[in-house]
A and B are shown apart, each in its own frame.
Chain A
């Protein structure tokens, strides 16, 4: 039976009717047109569907939409600051961290959450924190480099 729910998505209250069996990832993409969470493994392993749910990263493929009635979702669309990319996102671009970009929304959110709690991480810390976000293009090194650069606050003299 369809039930009306309200989810705050990127700061905007969105009303939608859902079945109990509707998964949040599908409702975000198909029902609400929020396309940055990607459909990957659909079993919590790959991290491409990562969103922030009430301030913490979560796998939107492992959440029923109906569970999130009254809760807050942030996706990479809502990460922009005054319409500008964040420093972390700029570094990902400058350091060619992504190729196809399929994993990028999830990794941006995972790295953002990690850096907020760990301003001075080691390389190992970054590897450990991003272990659940798979990238099949780059071998991870430029992704980890960019996260470390963001932690160091380096905005200039990044490798061309």
Chain B
């Protein structure tokens, strides 16, 4: 089935040029990166841009760098590039573990992590991982640059704080201090190529501090402050895990849809939280399962 909707196409040579074109065109203009969400949405007649601005001609947007203990992802970094990056493996293997669960190989070769959070579907895998890493999203507009913490990024299903004329220029992540261990668990109907039924990301830090985030069990991916507060400063005993699991119901608001019932999602979030906490702590302490090991 062809795309029925007509639109103009512009290949930007720089991000400043992209911003100029987007600003002139108004809200009917869309940014095109990997296209793995935008093209099917166009085909489904779900979005109706007058203009599509392709940023893939802009050099340098696929860079992954670490400078002054801040890891930076360019706006075209794909999930495959996250999986293959030595910098990611050395500094934040949680991101590679998450990336390996996204769609399938042929999609990961094109799909960008920035596109994933701009599409902002509630089940996006990047959301929980970036939440526990306390990432910031950098944007450029005619007014200049601004940076938004990921906690304030998602505003609803398929909605973010990004204005139509703004271009995301990168994601920055302050590298956690000291020993740390991360984990991303994704519940799927079958392994390989499925959207998340529920996702849990956890980062275990020194001093028994924990960050916990859920995806696909609410309108937006979100941190779980009550669980983090409950675990703060204590060793991960069976009692501590049981207490954390008991708080899951307060932190999520799952729905029933074609992929799972809300009851199944809620119960599995407890199971995944327990397994994930043990994995994150043991990874922090150097004894955990290798990153990429399936834990659910």
Contacts and interface: CB of A to CB of B under 8 A. Distances in A.
Interface string A36-60: 0000001111010010010011110
Interface residues of A, number: 36
B90 interface: no
Contacts of B106: 44, 47, 50, 57-59, 106, 110, 132-133
Given A26-B2, A56-B80, A57-B106, A131 B7 contact: no
B103 A67 contact: no
B36 to A, nearest CB: 5
Contacts of B191: 128, 131
Contact of A67 (B4, B8, B35): B35
Interface stretch (B15-23, B38-46, B202-210, B227-235): B38-46
A25 to B, nearest CB: 10
B1 A21 contact: no
A62 B36 contact: yes
A41 B81 CA distance: 26
B43 A42 contact: yes
A132 B7 contact: no
Contacts of A69: 11
Contact of A63 (B4, B104, B110): B110
A42 B109 contact: no
Contacts, number: 97
B32 A67 contact: yes
Contacts of A90: none
Given A42-B1, A47-B104, A132-B106, A19 B39 contact: no
Contact of B2 (A21, A63, A127): A21
Contact of A132 (B9, B11, B43, B107): B107
A50 B199 CA distance: 28
B267 interface: no
Contact of B193 (A1, A22, A62, A132): A132
Contacts of A79: none
A63 B192 CA distance: 22
A45 B43 CA distance: 14
B1 A132 contact: no
A3 B11 CA distance: 13
Interface in A68-113: 69, 106, 110, 113
A58 B104 contact: no
B86 interface: no
A129 interface: yes
Interface of B: 1-9, 11, 32, 34-36, 39-40, 42-43, 52, 54, 56, 80, 103-107, 109-110, 191-193
Which 6 residue pairs are nearest across A and B when measured between Cβ atoms? A132-B104, A131-B192, A20-B9, A21-B3, A56-B109, A57-B106
Interface of A: 1, 3, 19-23, 26, 42-45, 47, 50, 53, 56-59, 61-64, 66-67, 69, 106, 110, 113-114, 127-129, 131-133
29 contacts: A20-B7, A20-B52, A21-B4, A21-B7, A23-B3, A23-B39, A23-B43, A26-B2, A42-B40, A43-B43, A44-B104, A44-B107, A53-B110, A58-B106, A59-B36, A62-B34, A62-B40, A64-B9, A64-B35, A69-B11, A106-B106, A113-B105, A127-B192, A129-B105, A131-B192, A132-B103, A132-B104, A132-B105, A132-B192
